[in-house]
Amino acid sequence: MSGDKGADGPRRSRQAPLLVAPGEDLGDSGEFEAGHGVLSINGRLRALKQGKMNKRGNIVSIEPRRTAFMPRPSDLVIGYIEGCTSNIWFVDIGAPFNAILPMSLGPAKAEFGGIRKVLDIGDAIICRVQEVEENHSSVVTMKGMGLRAIRSGSVEEIDPHLLGRLIGRGGNNLRQLKEDTECRLIAADNGRVWLDGDLSGIIQARNSLNDLLKQAKIEEYGGVV
C-alpha cells in the first residue's frame, strides 16, 4: 500500500508497478491532477479502480486491470447488427448500450422494407462513433475511409484496456504480427480485432493474439488473470 506517501513516493522501478486498490490515498491534489481512475476528494487524490498507477507530468492516472468499454466520439469500433427498423440499425458495440446507425449514415440506401438486404441481423461492421449523448446512447457512422461491413475473416475479442499492449510502441507489435501472419488486422477501440487472410494465417494470428495477451497479464500481475 502506498499509505500516506506522496503520489510520486512509492514508485521506484519499472519492474515493480505500483498496484492500487479502490479507495487508496494517492497523495495531495495540490501538485497533481486527477487523470483516469482517480478522483480528487477534499484535497486528496483517491484511487477509483484497481490497477497500475501511472504518473505522467503532473497527472496521476490508473491503468485499470479491467474496465468496461465506454464509447467516445471518433472511436473506431467493430459492431454487430442486433436489430433494425425500417430506417435504423441497432448495433452492439460492446458497450452497456446499443448504438444506432441511421440509414443516412449507413453503407447504402435501401428501398422501404429492404433494410436487411443492406445489413442483416448478425452482420459485423467496422464503424466510427459519431456522437455520444449524455444518457450514453450513441450514434455510429459508416461514412468514412475503411468503414464497411465485414464479409470475410474472423473477429476476436480482447479486453479493451489491453489494446495498447497489442499495438505496441508506435504500432510495432501490430505491424510485426501483420507481417508474420500475412493477415489484414484491424484493432478497434472496443477491443474487437478483425483478422482477414488465409485460414492458416488467421489461426496463427489468433494464437499469437491469445499468447501475447496471456503473457502480458501474467507479466503484469502474477498468476491471477
Partner 1 sequence: MGGYGDVQCIDENGIRLDGRKIDEVRPMSIEVGVVPVADGSARMKWGLNDVIAAVYGPMEAHPRKIQRQDRAVLDVRYNMAPFSTTDRIRPGFNRRSREISKVTAEALESVVLTELYPRSKIRVEIEIICAEAGTRCAGITAASVALAHAGIPMTDLVVSVASGKVHDVVVCDLNKEEDNYGEADLPMGILPNTGELVFLQMDGDLSPQQFQEAWDYNMGAAKVIHEVMVEALKGGDE
Residue choice 6, 11, 28, 49 for contact with partner 1 (CB under 8 A): 49
Contact between 5 and partner 1 by CB under 8 A: the answer reads no
Residues 113-142 that bind partner 1 (CB under 8 A): 134-136
190 binds partner 1 (CB under 8 A): no
H helical segments located in the chain: 115-118, 163-167, 172-181, 199-221
Is residue 68 part of the contact set for partner 1 (CB under 8 A)? yes
Q: What is the DSSP string of 156-185?
A: EE--GGGHHHHH-GGGHHHHHHHHHHT-EE
Which of 33, 58, 66, 215 contacts partner 1 by CB under 8 A? 66
Helix or strand or coil: residue 69? coil
Listed in sequence order, the residues at least 6 apart from 96 whose beta carbon sits closer than 8 Å to its beta carbon are 68, 70, 136
Using CB under 8 A, which of 9, 21, 148, 182 touches partner 1? 21
All cell numbers assigned to 4: 500516506
Nine-digit cell at 83?
436489430
Residue 59 within binding range of partner 1, rule CB under 8 A: no
27 is a site residue for partner 1 (CB under 8 A): no
Q: Which residues bind partner 1 (CB under 8 A)?
A: 1, 19, 21-25, 37, 39, 41, 46, 48-51, 64-68, 96-98, 134-136, 221-225
